[in-house]
Chain A
Amino acid sequence: MSTVTLAGRVVEVDTEGFLLDPHRWDEQIAQEIAREAGIPELTDRHWQVVHFMRQTYLDTGSAPSIRTLGKASGVPIKELYELFPHGPAKLAAKIGGIPKPRGCI
């Protein structure tokens, strides 16, 4: 647990860089986390996924599975892996300011 400055705001993050308080998030922070993760610019498709993940977490208390993400976000699995290389569920959650998803699916 430590504090970092993202987009000019001081926020608390866990050891992997996930925001500890989802409500401290804003879109500028999302852009900065994305840049640090190797995505220079978030496109509309990226945002579609990020918003879906964040909203599902805020509505239900947990992030969607990769299966649900592929079916209900409007972005299919193939494209998810193109938009977010190395694990879309984890990366989209981090960019969306929600905790790291803990699931096997």
Chain B
Amino acid sequence: MSDTSDTSDTIEKVSIIISKGSLEGVYPGLIMANGARMEGIEANLFFTFFGLDAINKAKHDHVKVATVGNPGLHLATWAGGVPGVSALVTRQLAHEMERLDIPPIPEFVEMIADSGAGLYACKASVDLFKLSAEDFIPQVKDVITVGEFYGLAAGGQIIFT
């Protein structure tokens, strides 16, 4: 069964890639992974490039909203670049999310790991940023290559964020 693709009526397995390091770039993948586990769908999370910040012990509590070059925010570029604006917008958004019971990134990633999803770091990015397994939260299962990711993702759907 593991060789066949997911062609049934329901989705049985997803492997989600998180490649961005902004708050709004990290959350969609986390919501999808948690949502998958809540539906009984097998889930893997693969963190690459700046997405590694979400599982990096030194960085995962400091993920910010991108306030420059982010047209969706409807904030003038010059305003978004003022020192402190990104931190302010991040704080406001975090406050709203807390009101909606959406956890901050460190807690959310831990919840997702506890729900049985596999967490993996991209070896190429780990090498690029001169990191090692010790930099990551203990819930990360392994540092893997893209080929190993494809092996893990077999039989399910791949979602790139």
Contact = CB atoms under 8 A, between A and B. Distances in A.
B38 A89 contact: yes
A90 interface: yes
Interface string A63-74: 001111010000
Contacts of B107: 67
Interface residues of A, number: 17
B40 interface: yes
Given A65-B101, A77-B115, A81-B116, 19 more contacts: A66-B38, A66-B111, A66-B115, A67-B101, A67-B111, A68-B101, A70-B111, A70-B114, A76-B114, A77-B111, A77-B114, A78-B115, A81-B115, A85-B40, A87-B39, A89-B38, A104-B35, A105-B102, A105-B103
Contacts of B115: 66, 77-78, 81
Nearest to B40: A86
Nearest to A78: B114
Contacts of B37: 81, 87
Interface residues of B, number: 16
Contacts of B103: 67, 105
A70 B116 CA distance: 14
16 contacts: A66-B111, A66-B115, A67-B102, A68-B101, A76-B114, A78-B114, A78-B115, A85-B40, A86-B40, A87-B37, A87-B39, A87-B40, A89-B38, A104-B31, A105-B101, A105-B103
B104 to A, nearest CB: 11
Top-4 shortest CB links A-B: A86-B40, A77-B114, A78-B114, A87-B40
B39, B107, B115: most-surrounded residue (chain A CB, <10 A): B115
A39 to B, nearest CB: 14
B34 interface: yes
A20 B40 CA distance: 23
